[in-house]
């Protein structure tokens, strides 16, 4: 049977790959003709998504939210205005540095070396996955978030500028991991997704537009919409893709005034091969944006095919690609082989 999908997207982290070289090599060898972009796998200390960003605030640990062993937020004393001012002053000098620029530049050197050796196909871009500012600010205790968000946003924009200055634009693709916003929009505030702005929906869109618009127009840029992946579970189950379609449309309307959105990724739960989940895709106006649906689930080739076939009935584009729901960094190493096998079986190559 002819595959209904074309191409595969790797969301970011790769399991069973302790180094960037391991991750890029594994992807290149398994999907040589299916991917347009390859991430560095987010190895070592970056394997747990944003947890390593707590170190960004080490100059003032009092700024951080505290948790119990089950990752529930632990109540902390309300901060006075004076305490807030003192903490913000400590975090302002020296300026915050996320470290994503250093990691990216180091990993790109490995990517280029592997490309020169013929392991990475020519024309494939180096994918850099960056968290949204909002999801990192969720690590900050209540009362500080509005001001810390400004500091962290400035740090992220500095890092994007340095990445752009350090890597040839034709080699680069930047992805923003929208990994907290949908819990906020769904009203699921555990453990730390309560908004500190209003109106909520418009504030989410404004933040995503600002990040996307900060990327130079000659660099590919896309968004990974996420419902969480803690212990391989969502924080809340999406009712369908409707909310994601709505937010994408609002973001596209603004960002595309100045640049293209090159791709969009949306998750598809394993149990959702029903029409109701995918129907809202008919309202998603993609234009030149590539759509990747995260419907690949390890050990479930037949289910993956079903999900792709149902989705194909509603996608308003000549083609769409497939992916896993989220990054694979926290998955058992043996998952990778199954994901690669299923991806090749369900999606046609792009070249």
CA distances for 174 relative to 118, 216, 221, angstroms: 23, 10, 5
**Residue 35: which of 321, 293, 315, 304 has the closest Cα?**
321
Dist. CA 57–CA 62, nearest whole Å: 9
Which residues lie below 8 Å from residue 335, measured CB to CB, with a gap of 6+?
A: 15, 298, 328
| pLDDT for 256 | 98
Predicted confidence (pLDDT) at residue 259 exceeds the cutoff of 90: yes
> What does pTM read for this prediction?
0.96
Dist. CA 340–CA 294, nearest whole Å: 13
Contact 250, 204 (CB under 8 A): no
Q: What percent of the chain has pLDDT over 70?
A: 98
Predicted confidence (pLDDT) at residue 239 exceeds the cutoff of 80: yes
Greater confidence, 50 or 243? 243
DSSP letter at 14 equals: -
176's tokens: 């923003």
Contact 335, 305 (CB under 8 A): no
Measured in degrees and rounded to the nearest 5, phi and psi for residue 235 equal: -70, -35
Greater confidence, 50 or 256? 256
Tell me the β-bridge partners of 233.
230
Which residues lie below 8 Å from residue 282, measured CB to CB, with a gap of 6+?
A: 314, 316
Contact 27, 337 (CB under 8 A): no
**Residue 87: which of 52, 59, 55 has the closest Cα?**
59
Mean pLDDT along residues 322-330: 87
The per-residue pLDDT for range 146-204, each reduced to its tens digit, is 999 999 999 999 999 999 999 999 999 999 999 999 999 999 887 788 999 999 999 99
**Residue 296: which of 343, 263, 334, 332 has the closest Cα?**
343
Residue 134 lies in domain: 5-348
Of the candidate ranges 19-33, 64-78, 111-125, the one whose mean pLDDT is the lowest:
64-78
Mean pLDDT along residues 66-83: 90
Contact 127, 175 (CB under 8 A): yes
| pLDDT for 164 | 99
At 115 the three-state DSSP class reads helix
Predicted confidence (pLDDT) at residue 322 exceeds the cutoff of 90: yes
Dist. CA 43–CA 23, nearest whole Å: 8
The CATH number of residue 241's host domain is 3.20.20
**Residue 335: which of 26, 109, 54 has the closest Cα?**
26
| β-pairing verdict for 37-39 and 125-131 | parallel
Predicted confidence (pLDDT) at residue 230 exceeds the cutoff of 80: no
Q: Please tell me the total count of domains within the chain.
A: 1
Of the candidate ranges 5-19, 193-207, 241-255, 260-274, the one whose mean pLDDT is the lowest:
5-19
**Residue 167: which of 122, 103, 222, 261 has the closest Cα?**
103
Confidence of residue 84 (pLDDT cuts 50, 70, 90): very high
Predicted confidence (pLDDT) at residue 1 exceeds the cutoff of 60: no
Contact 72, 190 (CB under 8 A): yes
| pLDDT for 231 | 64
Alpha helices, DSSP H, located in the chain: 20-30, 81-92, 100-116, 133-137, 145-166, 181-186, 200-213, 242-255, 275-278, 301-312, 334-346
| pLDDT for 124 | 98
| pLDDT for 330 | 73
At 162 the three-state DSSP class reads helix
Contact 342, 306 (CB under 8 A): no
The per-residue pLDDT for range 35-72, each reduced to its tens digit, is 999 999 888 888 888 999 999 999 999 999 998 888 78
Tell me the β-bridge partners of 291.
264
CA distances for 108 relative to 13, 105, 118, 121, 200, angstroms: 15, 5, 15, 15, 36
Which residues lie below 8 Å from residue 304, measured CB to CB, with a gap of 6+?
A: 295, 296, 297, 322, 342, 346
Contact 323, 293 (CB under 8 A): yes
């Amino acid at each position: 049977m002819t595959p209904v999908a074309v191409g595969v997207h790797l969301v970011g982290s790769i399991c069973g790959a302790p180094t960037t070289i391991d991750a890029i090599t594994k992807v290149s060898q398994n999907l040589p003709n299916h991917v347009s972009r390859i991430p560095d796998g987010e190895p070592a200390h970056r394997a747990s998504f944003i947890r390593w960003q707590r170190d960004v605030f080490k100059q003032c640990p009092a700024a951080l939210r505290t948790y119990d062993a089950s990752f529930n937020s632990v109540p902390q004393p309300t901060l006075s205005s004076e305490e807030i001012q003192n903490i913000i002053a400590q975090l302002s000098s020296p300026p915050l540095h996320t470290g994503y620029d250093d990691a990216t530049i180091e990993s790109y050197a490995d990517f280029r070396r592997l490309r020169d050796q013929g392991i990475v196909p020519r024309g494939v871009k180096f994918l850099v996955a960056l968290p949204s500012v909002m999801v990192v600010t969720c690590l900050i205790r209540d009362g500080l978030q509005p001001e810390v968000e400004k500091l962290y946003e400035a740090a992220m924009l500095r890092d994007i500028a340095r990445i752009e200055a350090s890597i040839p634009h034709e080699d680069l693709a930047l992805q923003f991991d929208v990994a907290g916003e949908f819990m906020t929009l769904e009203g699921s505030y555990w453990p730390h997704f309560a908004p500190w702005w209003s109106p909520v929906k418009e504030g989410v869109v404004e933040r995503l537009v600002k990040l996307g618009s900060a990327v130079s127009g000659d660099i590919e840029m896309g968004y990974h919409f996420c419902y969480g992946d803690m212990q391989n579970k969502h924080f809340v189950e999406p009712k369908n893709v409707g909310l994601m379609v709505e937010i994408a449309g609002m973001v596209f309307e603004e960002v595309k005034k100045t640049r293209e959105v090159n791709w969009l990724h949306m998750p598809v739960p394993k149990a959702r091969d029903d029409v109701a989940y995918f129907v809202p895709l008919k309202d998603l106006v993609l234009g030149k944006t590539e759509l990747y649906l995260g419907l690949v689930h390890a050990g479930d080739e037949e289910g993956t095919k079903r999900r792709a076939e149902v989705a194909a009935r509603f996608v308003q584009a000549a083609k769409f690609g497939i992916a896993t729901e989220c990054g694979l960094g926290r998955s058992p190493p043996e998952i990778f082989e199954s994901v690669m096998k299923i991806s090749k079986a369900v999606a046609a190559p792009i070249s």
